[in-house]
């Protein structure tokens, strides 16, 4: 049997991660000789854990909460995408000893929205909830899709405004990009796409959202995935939104981009999403 190339996802906690299952399905469908495991790094031991994995022949990793910023700092070379996101979710360890950092979260979200869910973002009114790392990570590809409006709304308005200013300073956002407080939303009108990038769903908390933000024929998207409806998706359904999606598609698409970056071939994702999908109720 050919030697296997080793990959892993590193996080804390990481036991819940679907990435090993996703990459096992990719390995099966492409015939690539890879193994992929989940490694929990101590909170103060990200770099040491990565060093150890590399010393054992590891070829690349995905990085999840809370290490995405540290992954950027760890790398020798940081892609433009990862720089804009301020974080990396994938590292590649080259034969010459260099480490490259990438971020596929935003492109994964975009591919899920446009390819899997059939949305055309050009000219849409988009509401992005949250102004932390998860929101920052997807802002650039969302802007590149040319929405008419991209409003970043956050519990603390200062953080939303600071994020918008950062992107405008980088030349990545124009007049379509604006910041707001969640408490401003009753006056903000309806949005074709509402994306939850806050950590509220992780804590099973609902956000204070007026029904009016949800256009009835729109799409509500929670970047979190899990079993069933998140509190945000439940709110959206109660507001009468036609279409709901969780972050499973985004997770599988970013995994496929990571796999393609490491292995030079992009696996099919539709069968993997269907395989892992539990009905949203
Ligand atoms: P992440 O990297 O997951 O984005 P983060 O950088 O800690 O994590 O950011 C968490 C985001 O979720 C922030 O936008 C936070 O709002 P604040 O900046 O006002 O703290 C948001 N958030 C977390 N819990 C929330 C809640 N219960 N209601 C509203 N927003 C919440």
CB of 39 closer than 8 Å to CB of 13:
no
Beta-sheet pairing, 125-129 with 99-102: unpaired
CB of 147 closer than 8 Å to CB of 124:
yes
CB of 10 closer than 8 Å to CB of 60:
no
Q: Which residue's alpha carbon is nearest to atom 12 within ligand 1?
A: 198
Cα–chain center distance at 264? 21
pLDDT, tens digit (0-9, with 9 covering 90-100), for 116-146: 999 999 999 999 999 999 999 999 999 999 9
pLDDT for 206: 87
CB of 171 closer than 8 Å to CB of 116:
no
- Report the pLDDT averaged over residues 68-97: 96
| 65: pLDDT strictly greater than 80 | yes
Cα–chain center distance at 257? 12
pLDDT for 275: 93
CA-68 nearest atom, ligand 1 = 2
pLDDT for 281: 65
**Selected catalytic residue, list 6, 23, 59, 68:** 68
pLDDT tier at 205 (50, 70, 90 boundaries)? confident
178: DSSP letter: E
- Report the pLDDT averaged over residues 161-179: 94
User: Which of 63, 68, 85, 130 for a ligand 1 pocket mutation test, highest count of atoms within 8 Å of Cβ?
Assistant: 130
17 token code pair: 């991660």
69 lines ligand 1 (CB under 6 A): no
pLDDT, tens digit (0-9, with 9 covering 90-100), for 260-272: 999 999 999 999 9
Q: In a 3-state reduction of DSSP, which class is residue 171?
A: coil
pLDDT tier at 30 (50, 70, 90 boundaries)? very high
- Report the pLDDT averaged over residues 79-85: 94
Alpha-carbon gap, residue 149 to 263, rounded angstroms: 37
Q: How many CB atoms lie within 10 A of CB 28?
A: 11
Q: Which residue's alpha carbon is nearest to atom 27 within ligand 1?
A: 200
Q: Which residue's alpha carbon is nearest to atom 23 within ligand 1?
A: 199
pLDDT for 1: 54
- Report the pLDDT averaged over residues 193-199: 96
Alpha-carbon gap, residue 236 to 205, rounded angstroms: 14
| 247: pLDDT strictly greater than 60 | yes
| 25: pLDDT strictly greater than 90 | yes
In the chain the first and final C-alpha atoms are separated, in Å, by 44
159 is catalytic: no
199 lines ligand 1 (CB under 6 A): yes
pLDDT for 203: 80
- Residue 198 CA to ligand 1 center (angstroms) comes to 5
Share of the chain above pLDDT 70, in %: 98
Residue 99 sits at the vertex; the CA angle it makes with 95 and 105, to the nearest 5 degrees, is: 125
Average pLDDT, the chain: 95
| 2: pLDDT strictly greater than 70 | no
| 229: pLDDT strictly greater than 80 | yes
Alpha-carbon gap, residue 177 to 147, rounded angstroms: 9
- Residue 131 CA to ligand 1 center (angstroms) comes to 7
Note the pTM of the prediction, 2 decimals. 0.95
Q: Where are the alpha helices (DSSP H) in 104-247?
A: 105-111, 133-144, 157-169, 231-238
- Report the pLDDT averaged over residues 248-252: 97
pLDDT tier at 280 (50, 70, 90 boundaries)? low
């Amino acid at each position: 049997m050919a030697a296997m190339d080793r990959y892993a996802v590193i996080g804390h906690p990481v036991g819940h991660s679907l990435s090993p299952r996703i990459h096992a399905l990719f390995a099966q469908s492409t015939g690539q000789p890879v193994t992929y495991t989940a490694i929990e790094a101590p909170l103060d031991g990200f770099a040491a854990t990565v060093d150890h994995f590399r010393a054992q022949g590891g070829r690349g990793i995905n990085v999840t909460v809370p290490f995405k910023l540290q992954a950027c700092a760890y790398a020798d070379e940081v892609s433009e995408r990862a720089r804009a996101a301020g974080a990396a979710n994938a590292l590649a360890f080259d034969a010459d000893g260099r480490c490259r950092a990438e971020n596929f979260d935003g492109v994964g979200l975009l591919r899920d929205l446009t390819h899997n869910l059939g949305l055309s973002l050009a000219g849409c009114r988009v509401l992005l909830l949250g102004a932390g790392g998860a929101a920052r990570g997807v802002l650039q590809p969302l802007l590149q899709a040319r929405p008419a409006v991209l409003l970043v709304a956050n519990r603390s308005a200062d953080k939303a405004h600071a994020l918008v200013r950062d992107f405008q300073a980088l030349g990545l956002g124009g007049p379509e990009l604006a910041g707001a407080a969640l408490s401003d939303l009753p006056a903000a009108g309806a949005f074709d796409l509402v994306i939850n990038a806050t950590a509220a769903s992780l804590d099973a908390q609902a956000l204070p959202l007026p029904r009016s933000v949800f256009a009835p024929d729109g799409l509500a998207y929670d970047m979190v995935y899990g079993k069933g409806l998140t509190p945000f998706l439940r709110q959206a359904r109660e507001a009468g939104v036609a279409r709901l999606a969780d972050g499973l598609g985004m997770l599988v698409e970013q995994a496929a981009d990571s796999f393609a970056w490491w292995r030079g071939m992009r696996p099919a994702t539709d069968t993997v999403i269907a395989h892992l999908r539990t009905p949203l109720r």
